[in-house]
Structure 1
Amino acid sequence: MDNPLIAIVLIVALFSVLLSPKTKTVEGFFQGHSADGRAPGLMTLIFSQVTTWIFARSLMNAAILGFYYGVWGTLAYGAYYLSFFTGGRIIDHLRFERGYPSVQDFLADRFGKTGTRCYNTVIGVRLVSEVFANLLVIGLLFGVAGSQAYTLGIIAIALLTLTYSMMGGLHASLKTDLLQMLIFLVVLALLMVSAFSSGSLNAELFTFKPFELSEPGPVLLLVALLQVWSYPMHDPVMMDRGFLADRDTTRRSFFYAGWISIICILLFGLLGVMAGAHALSGETMQQALNRILGELPMLLFSASLIISAMSTLDSALSSSAKLAIVDMKLTDASLKNGRSAMAIFMLLGVALVFLGNKDLFSAVAVSGTASMYLAPVIFFSLWGNRQSIPVASYLGSFVLALVGAGLYFTESSGYTNLLGEFHKYTKLLWISLTVLIGGCGFFWLGDKLSASTLPEHNLHTTEEVG
């Protein structure tokens, strides 16, 4: 096991614990308020949003997609970060224009218990996958899958993160996000200096892979542009941070976090592009980077992934506690129950690491496809304010998205070949288009049928509102 890497992890973990005083109030644990009841400020919210979204899985995905598909692969992954701008608009409309205190309250108002049950199922799976994917990256940085170093690294980080998360809840997560983001920015800057000084990061990288619409990189870019409308609403970490501060602070936090995240992801992805462009036959991305940059920069590379993973893990655990205790109301809203929920979600994530699929982008693609059932909810019910959409339309969109997500998983994993011999990202594009068009079709039809049964004066009112 790499002793310098262990030392870096222990130092960051120690500072994270020191920054996480034990929260004594329910508001601090679930809503991130300080001991005197103050909401988080702008800088805290910006850095918390950024560091929880440019987490280990995302950094690794951006680099891997750059390695295999060139700049277009990295741009495709970066496009997912436009979610900050669509997410900011969703929050502004939901909270400040419509007056709902949470996504669940909005869905319950429009679609009853069916609305919240479907949504809670999707985001529950999302949170478990967040824990799983970030622990998986950590394990692979410490050793080969299945090795003792791999197993011990995962367990150690899981216990360390769970410890300080249980101490302070969301308040601790916000404070540690600030520290971890500052460290990450320094590490990223050093990595980029090293990459530029190596002479391998140059304009030739942009021609490393051709731009043709049929190529995997551009196809994945189109997928991202389809999924970015609904992706933020199914991300509880992003949504939770939209309900903490006043309107102006919230708006600005989403705007600045969006641009900072996109820049960080693209810069990190360029390391993967550089590795792909200069890789020798049979070399992996890590091997190529190690040869080009040297051992010290690669230590920084690994450290940046682990730091961002810890940040995402504590945020995912905080959102898990809020989901189970506050939003789903499975039991009383107490610190003890919140901490128990964190432990359960961490155990589920650890279990998936040792039992689940090891393809990191599959988790993003499956999750993003499932989230697309929310696109017509946003277009028709939230932004369009159509109040006559029946529950059947909502269920139809939900089932179609789940079928699409399941189909992509089986196709990309090789379990089925129902869509032919196309590249898996081409299949994902067609599935995403079908889910989006089909879901919107359900809502459009449901709205028309419901409106046609209303009395004439109610029909006129509904059309004016829409």
Structure 2
Amino acid sequence: MEQSLAIVVGLIAVLSLLLSPKAKSDGAFFKGLSPSGEQPGLLVLVFSQVTTWIFARSLLNAAILGFYYGIWGTLAYAAYYLSFLTGAKIIDSVRFRYGFSSVQAFLDDRFGAWGTRCYNFVIGIRLVSEIFANILVIGILFGVSGSSAYIFAVLAFAVVTLIYSMLGGLHASLRTDLMQMVLFIVVLVLLTVLVINSGNVTIENLLFKPFDISDPGPILMLVALLQVWSYPMHDPVMMDRGFLADRDTTRKSFLHAAWISIICIILFGLLGVIAGAQAESGEAMNAALLRILGDVPMLLFNITLVVSAMSTLDSTLSSSSKLVAVDMKWVDPNVRNGRSIMALFMLIGLLCVFLGNKDLFSAVAVSGTASMYLAPVIFFSLWGGKTNIPVWSYLATFVLAISGAILYFTESAGHTQLLGEYHKYTKLLFISSAIMIFGCLLFWLGSLKSTPESSMEALT
């Protein structure tokens, strides 16, 4: 099966290279414009949004959560995809209500340099974690961590994706996303049909874990419903695609991406649920799926992971180059610098693969927890229209969220037990609730004690 998967990966790589025209302008590389200067259409944007947010890591997480916590674990992960709905509202406010060209421009207007510094720090971590996690999934598919097959798969996948990403930048990413999403849908439909025909999709299997609000699945669902308000704003891949087309096309692309993504995640996650319902004692998810479904469905299962990893990785590299060159303005925003930035981020991601933490969900949870400092920014400054929030409120909320993210990481990894013996998702709910409540309180207090004229005085 590994040989067949390798052939498929090679074919996808060749197609991606063929569909990646060399960028001849900064507009094509950083803004996704066609050679004639045209913006992407609705279908391209929808498919690009979906395939870049259905990461390989996300598919694997949805299945793993279903395996351990039943359908409630999969639904909890699917709840994160409501981010497309809140993301649509965020983009509409930033870009079309206030007229800013980026999230950074909005934060700079409201909170000055500290607004963008904190934000760029969080999304920088987000981008590196995406590169690391999606490469990691590919390595896991081909071998045990540290094996020659694992190392070769990781390096080959990274090099191929980097090459075609460097060729065309965001324009190439949009073109390959379209192809990769079509392939993903075809494979997922085939996989779904095979699983249904296998006779394993039964009510008993799907509900092998009864609903209990205190179980990890429902608890994680509550966490998702808290984090979904701020999660999209800290994802530069999603936000970048909100600045590419006109208002109507942009709004529709987010709305359609929401329901398509949720359906895809649930369908894939149900594979984990089925495996969990029929797994033998001590049996891993992949082993259970292979025993239950056979070689062909498992090959399709792995192909979906490869396609989603590649589509997410090229988009993440494009957003990385835009972050450093366009948004942070550290270098001139030209094609040459954009390609160099991509190579640097890929190198950092590879270092994380070989040296970093292997817990896939930790990266999601830590990233999502850190992003919660943006929730009061959205509620008060963006949607509430308040321009008198002081910088100290913003910074205090940022420190609170980062501290919460670090605490969750140390608690979930077993380094500390400050929150007792609760399950790690229960701890995550405690932390997320505290950040949301106290972050909003800090902004509310700041709005009471400041005037529009004095909002920037604290740190300027």
- Interval of TM-score (by shorter of Structure 1 and Structure 2): over 0.9
Name the aligned partner's letter for residue 343 of structure 1. A
User: What amino acid maps onto 1:156 in structure 2?
Assistant: A
Alignment partner, residue 368 of structure 1: 368
Q: Which structure 1 segments of 5+ residues have no match?
A: 455-466
1:327 aligned partner: 327
Residue identity matched to 2:8: I
1:410-429 → structure 2 map (5 Å cutoff): 410-429=410-429
Q: 2:76 touches 2:220 (CA, 8 Å); kept in 1? A: yes
**Superposition map of 1:186-265 within 5 A:** 186-265=186-265
In structure 2, how many angstroms separate the alpha carbons of the residues matched to 1:106 and 1:205? 48
Q: TM-score normalized by structure 1?
A: 0.96
* In structure 1, distance between residues paired with 2:43 and 2:158: 27
In the alignment, residue 75 of structure 1 is paired with which amino acid?
Answer: L
Work out the CA distance in 2 between the residues paired with 1:140 and 1:397: 37
Following TM superposition, by how much is the alpha carbon of 1:192 offset from its aligned partner in structure 2, in angstroms?
0.6
Distance of 1:6 and 1:206 partners within structure 2: 32
Q: Which amino acid aligns with 1:361?
A: F
Deviation at 1:452, TM superposition (A): 10
Q: Is 1:180–1:307's contact at 8 Å kept on the other side of the alignment?
A: yes
Matched letter for residue 89 of structure 1: K
Task: Map 1:27-46 onto structure 2 (within 5 A).
Answer: 27-46=27-46
Q: Is the 8 A contact 2:71 2:270 kept in 1?
A: yes
Equivalent position amino acid for 2:133 in 1 = A
Distance 1:283 1:422 in 2: 25
2:444 — aligned with what?
Answer: 444
Shift of 1:207: 2.3
Please list the CA deviations of residues 109-143 of structure 1 after superposition, one character each: whole Å capped at 9, or x if unmatched.
Answer: 00000000000000000000000000000000011
Q: Unaligned regions of 5+ residues in structure 2, if any? A: 455-460
Supply the distance in 2 between the matched residues of 1:359 and 1:442 (Cα, whole angstroms): 32
Tell me, yes or no, if the aligned pair for 1:123 and 1:234 is still in contact at 8 Å.
yes
Checking the alignment, whether the CA contact within 8 Å between 2:173 and 2:318 is kept in structure 1 is yes
Distance 2:331 2:180 in 1: 32
Q: Matches of residues 133-144 of structure 1 in structure 2 within 5 Å?
A: 133-144=133-144
What is aligned with 1:463? none
Query: Which aligned runs of 4 or more in structure 1 are off by greater than 6 angstroms?
Result: none
Number of the residue aligned with 1:304: 304
- Tell me the amino acid that sits aligned with residue 247 of structure 2: R
Corresponding residue for residue 394 of structure 1: 394
Paired with 1:279 and 1:379, the residues of 2 have a C-alpha distance of 44
Task: Determine whether 1:21 maps to 2:24.
Answer: no
1:71·1:205 contact (CA, 8 Å) conserved in 2?
Answer: no
SS in 2 for 1:422: coil
Describe the shift of the 1:18–1:128 C-alpha distance in structure 2 as closer, same or farther (beyond 3 A).
Answer: same
Tell me what 1:266 maps to: 266
Which residue identity lines up with residue 17 of structure 1 in the other structure?
L
Matches within 5 A, 1:83-94: 83-94=83-94
Confirm or deny that 1:178 pairs with 2:178. yes
Instruction: Work out the CA distance in 2 between the residues paired with 1:38 and 1:160.
Output: 27
Q: Partners in 2 of 1:392 and 1:274 — Cα distance?
A: 49
Paired residues of 1:52 and 1:312 also in contact (CA < 8 A): yes
CA contact (8 A) 2:206 2:270 kept: no
How many Å apart are 1:451 and its aligned residue? Answer: 4.1
How far did 1:298 drift?
Answer: 0.5
